[in-house]
Amino acid sequence: MIRLPKHRHLAAAALLGGLALLLILLAATGRARITTDILALLPEDRRDVAAAAAMTQSRNAFFNDVTIVLSGPGSARADIENALAQLQEYLRSAPLSLSPPGARMAALQDIYKQNPFEWLTPQDRAALGADAVETMRLGLGVNLARPGNFDPADPAGFVSAFVTQLPAPNDDWTFLGDVPARVANNEIRALINARLTESPLDPAVQQQLSDLLASSERAVQRACEQCALHWTGAIRYSEATRKAAERDIKLLSTMASLGILLLFTLTFRAIRPLLVTAGTILSAILAGLATSFAVFGTVHVLTLVFGTTLLGLCVDYLLHFMVHRWAHADDSGAAALRAVAPGLLLGLASSVTAFLFLLFAGFPALSQLAVFSIAGLLTAWLLVHLCLPELLTPGTANNVVARLAITRVALSTKARLVLLAAIGMIALTGIPQLRIVDDVRGLQAVPDALSDDNHFVRTTLEGMPGDTGNADFVLVEAPDLDTALEREMQLLNSMEGPDGFGLSRFLLPQGAREANLRAYAALFENDGRQLRLILSAFGFRPALADDLVARYTTSTADVTPSATLLAQPAFDAQRTLLVTVENGVALMTRIPGDVRIPEQMPWARFIRPLEKIESTFSSIRQRGTIAVAAAWLLMLSILSFRYGPVGGVRVLAPALFGACVAVGFLGLAGWPLNIFSLVALILVLGIGADYALFLREGAAHIGTARLATTLAAATSLLSFGLLAFSSLPALRAFGFAISIGILTAFLAAPLALPLMAERKRASQRMDELDEAA
């Protein structure tokens, strides 16, 4: 038997004060952050570090990107330009960094022109290598004859040729001022790509940006009636999900609270049980939060939502104590606690065992959930022991109400079996229709307006360099940057079809740049004698030759390392394609169409991030299921030790049946089985086991045990069942599965009672009725 401290209230106050202090300290030191990034719940991939790092880098870039499209009819070009100016004015006050692609390209061209002899197309390098003098002479002649501009620093146009081969938008794209615009089908779409300067997960930043874009949309429409503004980005999805969650929490929690208030009022006719219950749940949440932040630092919002939900389990502890206390008002609080304590301890042990297994499943999502729930449940259990016996004193008038309620919840065993068989049969028909889906994107709440805007922006981006219509990429690994660039060039050259997009298209490896310099060698021998002859023949002053010879000499004396070039701001956009890992580097290369990597390139791998994420979620689901099954076997051993093997199975069977029925009904309703359904099933198993356990342990006072279980089921259905009406698909499926599972487990729970007790139950019930009368 557990020995309770003498000064129970002081101990409880110390516990809660300590937890509050811990939470404040963690918040003050920045170790109490909440994230909405669902992918942060995934485990680190230690088997494929390079791919994991590339995916993380790509995801981080995507997370901070905001893409805005201003569209209008081709006939309203002037109005669109005015509207665009208005929009740009508004965006200046947004937490965004705007870097027009024209300016980025100009900065790159400046880099190329600093050392013009290092940058050649493969064709020009081959031609120069074969006959540098004749190639220069022809190049110069052609460049002067073409009706285009002429840059003396690039007399034969070789750098220009290199620049024009860089990845560029297709012919549909032009510019409105410094903004790229797609002109097609008599429609103009101006594209603004921006990067957030503050966290996209910060609600204040989300609100600021959406308010600002709403204002700018009105300004845009004043300037151009036929124009429309479309925008997308992770920040908008995050805001939509957060707002939907907030709306749901407000609405559903208010409804659940009102329902529970009504239930408690009708049952106990007193406000104190409700206040004590609310206080205990809040304390459990406080403990869950403080412990999770202390262990993990950053906790996902879903951990909080699901964790708080799981803490609904602790209401059962309170209800069992309170119902017993109310039903046996003449007994002391300590006596009531002694009567229900074994059941509470077993309930706690079974839940903690299940969560401990989740903790060791090795996935951050499940680990966070487990730590949150274990800390919350332990705190609630402790508070029941420390505070409840003295806090709750029933009035005599309430006894009648409580006992009358008992009479209305009984159902004969036969009727129960028939009802359960019918439910089981219906659930069975749903099993074949059950789908297992691990792509969690479908579980996001995406408003139609956002979905339409996102589609509009994505279709606008078609034809932009690097846009392959998906997140797939080829990962080119190498021990160093130059080898990686060379390998990527080799890969891109081997590909048929449209050109790929990679860093080596913009930054030639040092070896290639040295080879380019060597290709010019014949022109610059003897102080550039051949070059001087050619330039002189076209009428150029000697000063131009002097300048070019000096540049060439400087370049060959000190070829800039690739890493130094890449570190320059002009390469900001391209730098995101490089991933640095422990044993070298990797380049992310985007290749449109079918990608078949030649066998002789073992250093290149095709990566499909979505497939990898799905596979990780699938893995979490499978390992979570195994962990829960293992926990159940352990619980079965513990319960078998107490009730014997058959008794143990009987206690656990109702919950298992409830979980199976929930799975069947998920199939019938067309909801997929995924990681969120798994959490729901864990809850059904935990709560269902508690119902049977409490009935079994309360067999001596079966009436009160049954009333407590009924109240527990009703509160659970009110709390979790209402989630079935959430606007978030993930919560909807979760609430639906829990409602069905809990209801079934509740109906099946009396089957866990020993046969003898079942026989005794009728006579005991009569006794209680007599007393009530």
Partner 1 sequence: MISIVSVALAVAPLTLPKLPEGECFTAPFVQTRTLAALQHPLVLKGNVRIERDGGLRWEINEPYRYRFSANENVFTEVTPDGKERRLDPEKAPWLAGMQKLFAALLGGNADVLHEWFDMESGQALPEGRQVSLVPANDAVAQAITSMTVVYGDHLRAISIHEAAGGTMSIRFEPLVACVDAT
Q: Select the residue interacting with partner 1 from 82, 165, 210, 727 (CB under 8 A).
A: 165
Regarding 152 and contact with partner 1 (CB under 8 A), the answer is: yes
Using alpha carbons, select from 210, 211, 216 the residue that is nearest to residue 228: 216
From candidates 31, 33, 59, 77, binder to partner 1 by CB under 8 A: 77
Considering only 64-72, 130-138, 378-386, 413-421, which stretch makes contact with partner 1 by CB under 8 A? 130-138
The span of 301-309, 541-549, 584-592, 696-704 binding partner 1 (CB under 8 A) equals 541-549
Would you say 536 or 583 has its CB closer to partner 1?
Answer: 536
- For partner 1, which stretch binds (CB under 8 A), given 43-51, 166-174, 524-532, 658-666? 166-174
- Pairing, β 228-233 against β 187-196: unpaired
Angle at 315 between CA 332 and CA 246, to 5 degrees: 145
Residue 202 or 572 with smaller CB distance to partner 1: 572
- Contacting partner 1 (CB under 8 A), which of 5, 17, 177, 442? 177
Q: Are 745 and 688 spatial neighbours (Cβ–Cβ below 8 Å)?
A: yes
Residue type (1 letter), 496: E
CA angle (464 as vertex; 460, 466 as ends), nearest 5: 125
Any contact of residue 138 with partner 1 (CB under 8 A)?
yes
Enumerate residues 89-118 that contact partner 1 by CB under 8 A.
100, 102-103, 106, 109
| Under rule CB under 8 A, residue 126 binds partner 1 | no
Contact between 160 and partner 1 per CB under 8 A: yes
Distance (Å, whole) CA 166 – CA 180: 16
Nearer to partner 1, 75 or 253 (CB): 75
Decide the pairing of beta strands 298-300 and 33-35: parallel
Tell me which DSSP letter residue 498 carries. S
Q: How far is the CB of 77 from partner 1 (least distance, A)?
A: 5
Q: Pick the stretch among 4-12, 153-161, 227-235, 549-557 that binds partner 1 (CB under 8 A).
A: 153-161
Q: Is 85 in the site for partner 1 (CB under 8 A)?
A: no
Residue 586 contacts residue 476 (beta carbons within 8 Å): yes
Contact 453, 633 (CB under 8 A): no
| 148 is a contact residue toward partner 1 (CB under 8 A) | yes
Residue 295 corresponds to which amino acid? V
196 CB burial (10 A radius; 0-12, 13-18, 19+): buried
Measured CA to CA in angstroms, residue 712 lies from 488, 532, 592, 729 at distances of 62, 95, 57, 26
- 676 Cβ partners below 8 Å, 6+ apart? 306, 440, 443, 730, 731, 733, 734
Position among 21, 60, 97, 150 found at the interface with partner 1 (CB under 8 A)? 150
Beta strand pairing call for 604-607 and 578-581 = unpaired
Alpha carbon separation from 418 to 659, 742, 744 (Å, rounded): 18, 18, 13
- Dihedrals φ, ψ of 188, to 5°? -110, 130
297 Ramachandran zone, left/alpha/beta (phi>0; psi -120 to 50): left
Between residues 150 and 641, which has the closer beta carbon with respect to partner 1?
A: 150
| Subset of residues 47 to 66 that bind partner 1, contact rule: CB under 8 A | none
**CA atoms within 13 Å, Cβ hemisphere of 515:** 15
Q: Determine if 766 is a binding residue for partner 1 (CB under 8 A).
A: no
Among 408-416, 540-548, 553-561, 569-577, which window interacts with partner 1 (CB under 8 A)? 540-548
DSSP letters spanning 610-660: HHHHHHHHHHHHHHHHHHHHHHHHHHHHHHHHHHHHHHHHHHHHHHHHHHH
187 binds partner 1 (CB under 8 A): no
Per-residue mark of binding to partner 1, 332-371 (x: CB under 8 A)? ----------------------------------------
User: Taking a C-beta distance cutoff of 8 angstroms, is the pair 68, 180 a contact?
Assistant: no
Cα-trace Rg, the chain: 35
Minimum gap (Å) between residue 542 Cβ and partner 1: 9
Q: Within 497-526, which residues bind partner 1 (CB under 8 A)?
A: 499
Residues of this chain, 626-685, that bind partner 1 according to CB under 8 A: none
- Count of residues that interact with partner 1, criterion CB under 8 A: 45
Residue from 73, 141, 279, 465 that binds partner 1 (CB under 8 A)? Answer: 141
Least separation in angstroms between residue 616's CB and partner 1 is 38
Residue list 270-329, contact with partner 1 (CB under 8 A): none
- 593 lies in the site for partner 1, by CB under 8 A: no
Among the candidate windows 167-175, 347-355, 444-452, 456-464, which touches partner 1 by CB under 8 A?
167-175
- Helices 333-359 + 609-669 axis angle, to 10: 140
What SS3 class is residue 402? helix
Q: Which stretch in 152-160, 223-231, 321-329, 518-526 sits in contact with partner 1 by CB under 8 A?
A: 152-160
Site residues (vs partner 1, CB under 8 A): 77-78, 81, 100, 102-103, 106, 109, 134, 137-138, 141-153, 157, 160-161, 163-165, 168, 171, 174-178, 183, 499, 538-541, 543-544
